[in-house]
């Protein structure tokens, strides 16, 4: 499997209410097979901005199946490991092949969205130290996992 993605990403809030991030973070499938991308876990390990984080989502652009928006933190954030285990997207192989398509999306962009509580911010250094983990599964050329193909 040959999938590229950024190893470091950021999100911020300029208005102290809405979470934003660059919209050009990208996951690219360079494999000969289509791939399923799941958001596995989101772990918050610290930072003075944690009490202010009230909602955090991962939002994708193109791709197939999966969820356009995956919630990482649904309510007030805490220092903990969140088990997400949700499908984000399925991507075509390196030649754009996916099921019956020959010009399918082999990449997707993603960004962070969410909200924060301005009153919970500390005076300085409002950051959230965290780690986002993905899980990748090679798919059959018809876009299904081996398990899905057995049940259909």
Task: Judge if pTM exceeds 0.85.
Answer: yes
pLDDT digits (tens, 9 = 90+) for 123-137: 776 889 999 999 999
Q: Which residue has the tokens 């994708």?
A: 60
**pLDDT for the residue numbered 65:** 83
Q: Which residues contact 126 (CB under 8 A, 6 or more apart)?
A: 47, 48, 49, 52
- Residue 89 contacts residue 65 (beta carbons within 8 Å): yes
C-alpha to C-alpha distance for 116 and 24, rounded to whole angstroms: 22
Regions in the chain scoring below 50 on pLDDT: none
pLDDT digits (tens, 9 = 90+) for 83-108: 999 999 999 999 999 999 999 999 99
**pLDDT for the residue numbered 152:** 66
C-alpha to C-alpha distance for 81 and 132, rounded to whole angstroms: 10
**pLDDT for the residue numbered 29:** 98
- Residue 44 contacts residue 130 (beta carbons within 8 Å): yes
* Cβ burial 89-123 (10 Å sphere, 16+ → b, else e): bbbbbbeebbbeeeebbbbbebbbbbebeeebeee
**Three-state DSSP class for residue 151:** helix
* 3-138: CATH, from 3.30.1380, 2.60.120, 3.30.1360, 1.10.3470: 2.60.120
């Amino acid at each position: 499997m040959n999938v590229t993605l950024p190893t470091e990403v950021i999100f911020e809030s300029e208005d102290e209410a809405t979470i934003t991030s660059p919209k050009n973070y990208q996951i690219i499938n360079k494999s000969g097979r289509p791939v399923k991308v799941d958001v596995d876990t989101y772990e918050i390990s610290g930072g003075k901005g944690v009490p202010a984080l009230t909602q955090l989502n991962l939002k994708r652009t193109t791709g197939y199946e999966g969820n356009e928006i995956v919630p990482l933190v649904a309510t007030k954030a805490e220092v903990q490991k969140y088990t997400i285990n949700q499908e984000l997207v399925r991507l075509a192989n390196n030649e754009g092949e996916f099921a019956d398509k020959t010009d399918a999306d082999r990449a997707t962009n993603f960004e962070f969205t969410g909200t924060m509580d301005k009153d919970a911010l500390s005076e300085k250094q409002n950051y959230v130290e965290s780690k986002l983990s993905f899980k990748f599964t090679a798919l059959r050329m018809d876009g299904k996992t081996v398990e899905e193909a057995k049940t259909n």
